[in-house]
Chains A and B, each alone.
Chain A
Amino acid sequence: GQNIDQPTEMTATEGAIVQINCTYQTSGFNGLFWYQQHAGEAPTFLSYNVLDGLEEKGRFSSFLSRSKGYSYLLLKELQMKDSASYLCAVVDSNYQLIWGAGTKLIIKP
């Protein structure tokens, strides 16, 4: 079957760096998304990777290794407002979006 794994919860300190991992096993691959979802709010788009490597966008970066079925989201200079859930989603060979359960990130002062 198809599977997306990411940690349930992570804790980090304001100003630090945190890496949220996502591993996947899907029937085919047509890209990987990261979304951010604050409690009680809509998920919002962070990044899309379809080729191997690192994509940097301000304080956030996303990495993809297709051969390893692995991605991570790197958040630098953490701020309290980064406390949220981070959702990993893979587009499979049928162009279906397969979602992970999300990682709840808690930022402490």
Chain B
Amino acid sequence: ETGVTQTPRHLVMGMTNKKSLKCEQHLGHNAMYWYKQSAKKPLELMFVYSLEERVENNSVPSRFSPECPNSSHLFLHLHTLQPEDSALYLCASSQVPGDPSYEQYFGPGTRLTVT
């Protein structure tokens, strides 16, 4: 595997379910990010981890819970989501911890549908 991978690629879940999104980067980077991408809207930064410490949490509802067990893996735990949470969730990583002046490498995303 190379670059940034995400699983699953597609997820349909009910509002009472609990699921997790997984991201793995094979680039030796020290910073990882979760973004939400909705149609015709700008990318929304949700969380940033730098050297496995959370450095950014942009007023994201508590039904989204991130976890970064090491510098290569990032999870987004989901529970009691709402239909408006349906979107593409993108993971990214970069070389310099927490400094977005450096190029971010994105995964292909998880297309989430909440029913």
Contacts and interface: CB of A to CB of B under 8 A. Distances in A.
Nearest to B100: A97
Nearest to B44: A99
A93 to B, nearest CB: 12
Nearest to A40: B108
B27 to A, nearest CB: 13
Interface string A34-73: 0100001111110010100000000000000000000000
A27 interface: no
Interface in B23-59: 40-45
Contacts of B105: 45
A31 B101 contact: yes
A10 to B, nearest CB: 14
A89 B92 CA distance: 14
Contact of B99 (A4, A95, A99): A95
Contacts of B109: 42
Contacts of A13: none
A8 interface: yes
Interface in B80-107: 90, 98-101, 103-107
A26 interface: no
Contacts of B41: 101
Contact of B42 (A43, A95, A99): A99
Given A41-B108, A42-B107, A101 B90 contact: no
Contact of B43 (A31, A40, A99): A99
A100 B40 contact: no
Contacts of A31: 101
A30 to B, nearest CB: 6
A87 interface: yes
Interface of B: 4, 40-45, 90, 98-101, 103-109
11 contacts: A42-B4, A42-B90, A42-B106, A45-B104, A50-B101, A87-B43, A91-B100, A91-B101, A97-B45, A99-B43, A101-B40
